[in-house]
Amino acid sequence: MTIPKSVCDALAHPGWCQAMVDELSALHNNGTWELVPLLYGKFVVGSRWVFAIKVGLDGIIDRLKARLVAKGYTQIFGLDYGDTFSPVAKMDSIRLFIVMATIQQWPLYQLDVKNVFLNGDL
């Protein structure tokens, strides 16, 4: 199994095609965007597909993942946007949390939330 180099390559494989359908369904169900008229003097930010193969601990392919991402690198600071924000936890905070959980003997669980980036307050 290889990562597709283009959308045409992905559409030729049922697994990658299903991954793309799943991503579009999640974006639609979460109300990620709405169509609006393009204002005069404004530009549309394009998008592209990014593909990844998720492998389990046993080395077997767990799932195929397709993500539709904006081409943010085409934007110009001060013209297209004014601020950037990335909700990322600092490693020191994570270490502190794990130490506290260990001391208190709290159970820790790991989970993967699809499209979690859509649910964050910016």
Q: What is the torsional sign of CA 53, 3, 27, 11?
A: negative
Digit-coded pLDDT (tens) for 5-25: 999 999 999 999 999 999 999
Number of domains in the chain: 1
DSSP state of 37: P
In a domain, residue 14? The reply is yes
Predicted TM-score of the model (pTM): 0.65
Give a yes or no: residue 121 inside a domain: no
120 falls within a domain: no
Virtual torsion, Cα 38, 85, 118, 59, nearest 10 deg: 120
* Averaged pLDDT score across all residues of the chain: 84
Q: What angle do CA 83, 86, 88 make, to 5 degrees?
A: 155
- CA triplet 70, 20, 121: central angle to 5 degrees? 45
Q: Does 121 have pLDDT greater than 60?
A: no
Assess if residue 69 is contained within a domain. yes
Residue 113: pLDDT over 80: no
SS3 assignment, position 94? helix
Domain limits at 75?
7-33+43-84
Q: Is position 50 within any domain? A: yes
Residue 102 lies in a domain: no
- Name the nearest CA neighbour of 11 among 45, 49, 46: 49
- How do residues 35-93 score in pLDDT, each as one tens digit? 889 988 888 888 899 999 998 888 898 899 999 988 877 777 777 677 776 667 888 99
What's the pLDDT score for residue 88? 76
Q: Is residue 116 part of a domain?
A: no
pLDDT score of 109: 85
Would you say residue 29 lies in a domain?
yes
